[in-house]
Structure 1
């Protein structure tokens, strides 16, 4: 319970506009001594002279000078005592109304938040991409051992184990787009896991049953097709997932981590499979190990959420275009098709080079293990370079400048690959592969995010899946055509590498046409602009 002096001090300090005028009225009725808040008794000052009678308000006076009537219950609390507001009171009331309006605006404004749980979905997508890519490349580093185990006449039949996955991607990609838009990332992961787990175990069964007579190659091929069916659900998800869970300052990095886990899986396959297959009879064991790892990796998918409870930024909260309108917008964009040509050609050649690297280097005297190390260098150098480039692009948003620098360097690398293996030394091909991996990996997430920026508000999974479909289709075409050009003789391999270099230069020309002349307005980062405009 407050002491009366403490209560007096509290009222005097916290409610001066009400308590002090009321106290002044009581001065004439109280004793000549008044207890002041400082605790000392002082003589109360003589009462002030009565104010002159208020003149009626002039109609010509400004509005804020007029004294307006107040409610009856408030008139006793004002020093004027005449039921009127003074200028000070009116200004204070207006300030209170403005503060209340600002508070209401703040409460109605959407709240943006970044959740830590986004990393669980990101890691799950990374692991799924790694294992699906490992399944795709599984037989390429040990192509000769695979041919001998399944008793195939030519190594081109082994190449079809990789090619069929690329073609399967194109067949199932419309379902992947629908699944991501309709059900979200979690449902897409469930579809991918179902196809992948079924595929890897079917491969093992095909190789293990009747293994003494070469197994069942057709069953293994069917398993590869199922793995290919699972690929578009995770390859089309990075841009879609980063758009939902990350801001403009982290989307390129998030996309890079997920997208580049796909070639990381290829690197693991290039590096590990030759050590698992010392002889043709080890093929079933290799498939068993990958099947077990794939099954374990898919276990966390049920804990992944499709979308955050609260969007991380304004562009993530913005409603995306309907599917039909989005397709029309993408089809009418010249810049999208230029990026589509560049992306499809370079991804196609990267897939072809990864699948045929063993056959490209072996005619020059390199072993399967040395070719596998070259493939691993290709991937590891790319991962390190992307770890540096992606955060820089996230901060600067210089998408177009980076594309104009990186794409010509990739074309130069494909030209260098014609001459690097001819000397028989490991240094030149490894150096070219390292530079090729660094530039290709840096370009991959950059291109995917740049397309989302220039086509916003088109849903990211639509543009990403279209780009990846082009890359997978041309990858299959390039594997078939380069296999036809290549042979056991080095001269035929040289023809395949020349073909690769010429087409990559055409892709570089398409990239350099981006933003040419008056088209610069069509290559602006629209999604970044939305975030900056609303958060300023």
Structure 2
């Protein structure tokens, strides 16, 4: 027994194995979503497709997120979490279809986009289950760090997905190079699916906390109405959605943002890895602090101040021949932006309890991904307008939009004052149990 709030609540050691398998499945899904973004020019040259078509290979993950969310929530009402995650893993195997693009050179884009659609539908199966998985398997004293680890599996996949393609694909790409890239990612997905089927379980033999013992079933209509009536949740939803949209847009368009300043696709891959690695470090740190203090609102505000400051630094330093300062600014953005994901998840759970995590966190991700898709198209258009300005101009259409969006997101989240409903419910359960135990002793 690792930790107990009440004598009959137990966290099992096998939870760490479950965590590793769940993280690997989420990671393998994320790595396929950004395959072509860091090698945009090379992909365009090899497949003879446009930048807009290449951007769509990543954007499809954003626009199909609502459909995947509805499907995963509907399935979770009928099936166990294990069965739902297995279905998501099988959908993820659709990445193998992308290999057909190497044999169908007349119209390879069809194979590429279909091969992206299936894992795009699968993405919410993993991402929306992050907080639910942590609640199912971990006690309140470790629940926040588990949420942080699970939620960082997706950004870690994006980091590796940003770095590896630029290491495999050269300036004059060949079919062999693309085969190595696509088959490597596909085999990783196959391994994750195999482990999910063999190892993954829905829940431990006994619940780790009172909130998980008494969780309620999903009711589509009633839960949605309650969420829309929750003013603090709506504030969180609006601010978080813009922040997530910005992160998705920046990671997807990073090469196109920095290329006019003289940086290469290899630089873009390095920068993409830096933003994620820095964010992962702080996300784990934030997870430990949340576990110890449960001060979600305070941590949220500290991260927002840092995110705004780092965004200003990035825009000011986005100039030619400033590789190391630019890398530092991108690292700081990741350091403050990524931890907002697990912190916002915990805020959503606390302010909407006892509504199930799939709904409260799933809606955050849905809106963030939809707006992210719009941002990618719009910022991509603004980047083309940037060419009308000289390199010396710090404030260009794309950077002005990014900065304004950062400010709007931060100001919105700064006024968030959601309650800690789940923590209060667990505290009351402990107090009642203590009173009952005292009565029995007397």
TM above 0.5, yes or no, is yes
Partner of residue 196, structure 1: 92
2:31 aligned residue: 134
Q: Which one has the bigger helix percentage?
A: 2
Counterpart of 1:422 (choices 312, 319, 322) is 319
Moved more, 115-124 or 452-461: 115-124
Residue 509 of structure 1 corresponds to: 411
User: Is it true that 1:365 corresponds to 2:258 in the alignment?
Assistant: no
Q: Which of residues 101, 104, 126 in structure 2 aligns to 1:210?
A: 104
For the structure 1 residues 414 and 491, does the alpha-carbon distance in structure 2 shift closer, same or farther, using more than 3 Å as the test?
A: farther
CA-to-aligned-CA distance 1:33-82 (integer Å, 9 cap, x gap): xxxxxxxxxxxxxxxxxxxxxxxxxxxxxxxxxxxxxxxxxxxxxxxxxx
Contact 2:82-2:202 at 8 Å conserved across structures: yes
Tell whether 2:389 aligns with 1:494.
Answer: no
1:123 to 9, 14, 20: 20
- Aligned partner of 1:445 in structure 2 is 342
Q: How far apart, in 1, do the equivalents of 2:355 and 2:7 lie?
A: 22
CA contact (8 A) 1:382 1:437 kept: yes
What is the Cα deviation at residue 431 of structure 1?
A: 1.1
Q: 1:314 aligns with which of 210, 214, 217?
A: 210
Instruction: Note the alpha carbon deviations across 1:214-254, whole angstroms, 9 max, x for none.
Output: x5111211111111011010010111111111122111111
TM-score by length of 1: 0.75
Structure 1 residue 110: Cα displacement: 7.7
- Find 1:476's aligned residue among 355, 370, 373: 373
Picking from 208, 230, 254, the partner of 1:333 is 230
TM-aligned CA distance change 1:465 to 1:436, over 3 Å: same
Q: CA deviation at 1:364?
A: 0.4
User: 1-side partners of 2:338 and 2:141: how far apart?
Assistant: 19
Aligned residue among 44, 50, 53 for 1:147: 44
CA distance in 1, matches of 2:256, 2:347: 34
Aligned-CA RMSD value: 1.7
| Distance in 2 of aligned mates of 1:238 and 1:141 | 27
Following TM superposition, by how much is the alpha carbon of 1:121 offset from its aligned partner in structure 2, in angstroms? 2.3
Q: Which secondary structure does the structure 2 equivalent of 1:141 belong to?
A: helix
Runs of 4+ in structure 1 off by over 6 angstroms are none
Give the match for residue 148 of structure 2. Answer: 256
Using CA pairs below 8 Å that are at least 6 residues apart, which structure has the higher relative contact order?
2
Number of equivalenced pairs: 416
Counterpart position of 1:168: 64
Q: 1:293 maps to which residue?
A: 188
Flag structure 2 segments of 5+ consecutive residues without an equivalent.
1-5, 432-442
Contact map agreement 1:315 1:531 (CA 8 A) in 2 = yes
Structure 1: which 5+ runs fail to align? 1-108, 516-522
**Aligned-pair CA distance for 1:423:** 4.3
Map 1:347-426 onto structure 2 (within 5 A): 347-426=244-323
CA contact (8 A) 1:166 1:476 kept: yes
CA distance in 2, matches of 1:239, 1:160: 29
SS in 1 for 2:62: helix
> Which among 450, 458, 466 is matched to residue 355 of structure 2?
458
Residue 333 of structure 1 deviates from its aligned partner by 0.4
Question: How far did residue 174 of structure 1 move?
Answer: 0.6
Map Cα deviations across residues 73-92 of structure 1 (whole Å, 9 max, x no partner): xxxxxxxxxxxxxxxxxxxx
Q: Report the CA distance shift for 1:238/1:322 in structure 2 as closer, same or farther (over 3 A).
A: closer
Larger radius of gyration: 1
Selected match of 2:125 from 233, 237, 258: 233
Alignment of 1:242 onto 2:242: no
Q: Is 1:485 paired with 2:349? A: no
Q: Quote the residue 1:17 is aligned against.
A: none
- Partner in structure 1 of residue 438 of structure 2: none
